Amino acid sequence: MDNQEIRCPDCDDDAIDRRSFLKVASVAAAAASVPLFATARAVAAPTRKSAAETAVKALYETLNDDQKKTICFDWDYKDGERGLLRTFVSNNWQITKPHIRSSYYDRKQQALIHDIFKGMINPDWYAKFLKHLKDDTGGKEWGDEQSIAIFGSPEDDKKFEFVMTGRHMTLRADGHSVDHVAFGGPIFYGHAASGFNEEIHHPGNVFWAQAEMANNVYKNLDPKLQEKALIRKRPPEAEVAFQGEKGTFRGLLVSEMPEEQRKDLQKVLAALVDPFRKEDQEEALACLKREGGIDKCYLTFYKDGALAKDGSEWDNWRVEGPAFVWYFRGTPHVHVWVNVADDPSIPLNAKG
């Protein structure tokens, strides 16, 4: 693999030899071999030697002083509008002005950023992510309308975090620099496959299969439990702060569900984390387990915003526990807000 040439999608036809600045294949292969629900050993949370984090360090070493002034920040840098910038999440934003596929970055840097991106996601989802980004930017390719920032420094033993943003994307790589949280902090994904106002059943939406699985759980509940799970009005989409043990939750407590439906919900949970790298999958599930597991969560569906008027399908739904929120908003198109930790006192910094 060290001799393999890599191309940043549509960045340039010239191949870029990665041998001298990126040796991460063995780390990525090890992460990919980890069972999703492994519990017999320590969780494989991302580290400074993970594939994405290794590429972040390699990228940082290529940045000139002017680039560092623009895209690199102190760990606790606060923005006037967004607050603590490294923790901010939104559905459509640019953390810095330069786009990845622009003259601001040279070809090697673009390729390294592409390696970081690939390192943060499940390889099986790579083509799906490229599709959603292309659909969501009017046909533009990966990197045309995404931007990045680095907080702290990956060159030493101090904390650092890489953040990639754009329409329907906030992804993070932090080498486990941030305590208690999964994914390095709150993340976001979404897709508008058939236009801003998606059609019923969301044709072509790469994330809609997650909702189909959740809807099947609902359909298999008995009517009384369906009534508990279904409420009238959905909350604002960015309302994904943790409520803790004593929160005011709405919906159906998972521990009240029959065993078969609880098993089905576990499969939904596996589908929710599946787009991301194995290390983040495991860390998210471990955080959930430390806060009481899926049985402490509530499953909620919302009548508000349903595209199917006959009640056959719910576009908007949520799985929420003391320090776990996965909010799938399917109208007018898919927005998914994710906030997972093992400590409910961690504050949220989000804006819809």
199-210 residue pLDDT tens: 999 999 999 999
Mean pLDDT of 36-43: 42
The whole-angstrom distance between residue 319's C-alpha and the CA centroid of its chain comes to 15
Task: Tell me the pLDDT of the chain averaged across its residues.
Answer: 90
Provide the pLDDT confidence category of residue 9 given band limits of 50, 70 and 90.
low
Q: How many CA atoms lie within 13 A of 170 on its CB side?
A: 28
Q: Which residues pair with 299 in a beta bridge?
A: 252, 319
Provide the pLDDT confidence category of residue 44 given band limits of 50, 70 and 90.
confident
Residue 278: predicted pLDDT = 97
> How large is the angle between the packed helices 107-120 and 51-62, nearest 10 degrees?
160
Three-state secondary structure readout of the chain: CCCCEECCCCCCCCCEECCCCCCCHHHHHHHHCCCCCCCCCCCCCCCCCCHHHHHHHHHHHHCCHHHHHHHEECCCCEECCCEEHHHCEECECCCCCCCCCCCCCCHHHHHHHHHHHHHHECHHHHHHHHHHHHHCCCCCCCCCCCEEEEEECCCCCCCEEEEEEEECEEEEECCCCCCCECCCCCEEEEECECECCCCCCCCCCCCHHHHHHHHHHHHCCCHHHHHHHEECCCCCCCCCCCCCCCCCCCCEEHHHCCHHHHHHHHHHHHHHHCCECHHHHHHHHHHHHHCCCHHHCEEEEECCCCCCCCCCCCCEEEEEECCEEEEEECCCCEEEEEEEECCCCCCCCEEC
Q: Which residues pair with 17 in a beta bridge?
A: 5
Residue 22: predicted pLDDT = 41
Q: Which of 46-50, 92-96, 146-150, 265-269 has the lowest mean pLDDT?
A: 46-50
Q: Which of 47, 5, 45 is nearest to 22 (CA)?
A: 5
Q: Which of 149, 155, 210, 209 is nearest to 185 (CA)?
A: 149
The whole-angstrom distance between residue 117's C-alpha and the CA centroid of its chain comes to 12
Residue 7: predicted pLDDT = 53
Q: Is the pLDDT of residue 40 over 90?
A: no
Boundaries of every domain in the chain: 5-174, 208-351
Residue 157: predicted pLDDT = 79
Q: Could you identify the residue written with the tokens 């990197």?
A: 143
Mean pLDDT of 321-343: 98
229-243 residue pLDDT tens: 999 999 999 999 999
Q: Is the pLDDT of residue 306 over 90?
A: yes
Q: Which residues are CB-neighbours of 178 under 8 A, at least 6 positions away?
A: 159, 161, 184, 185
Residue 43: predicted pLDDT = 58
Mean pLDDT of 41-69: 91
Mean pLDDT of 82-107: 98
154-197 residue pLDDT tens: 998 789 999 999 999 999 999 989 999 999 999 999 999 999 99
Provide the pLDDT confidence category of residue 141 given band limits of 50, 70 and 90.
very high
Provide the pLDDT confidence category of residue 35 given band limits of 50, 70 and 90.
very low
- Give the largest Cα separation in the chain, rounded: 63
- Output phi, psi for 33, to 5 deg: -90, -5
Mean pLDDT of 260-275: 97
This prediction has a pTM of: 0.89
125-135 residue pLDDT tens: 999 999 999 99
Q: Which of 37-46, 71-80, 250-259, 331-340 has the lowest mean pLDDT?
A: 37-46
Q: Which residues are CB-neighbours of 40 under 8 A, at least 6 positions away?
A: none
Q: Long-range CB contacts (< 8 A, 24+ apart) of 25-31?
A: 25/1, 27/51, 27/54, 28/119, 31/277, 31/278, 31/279
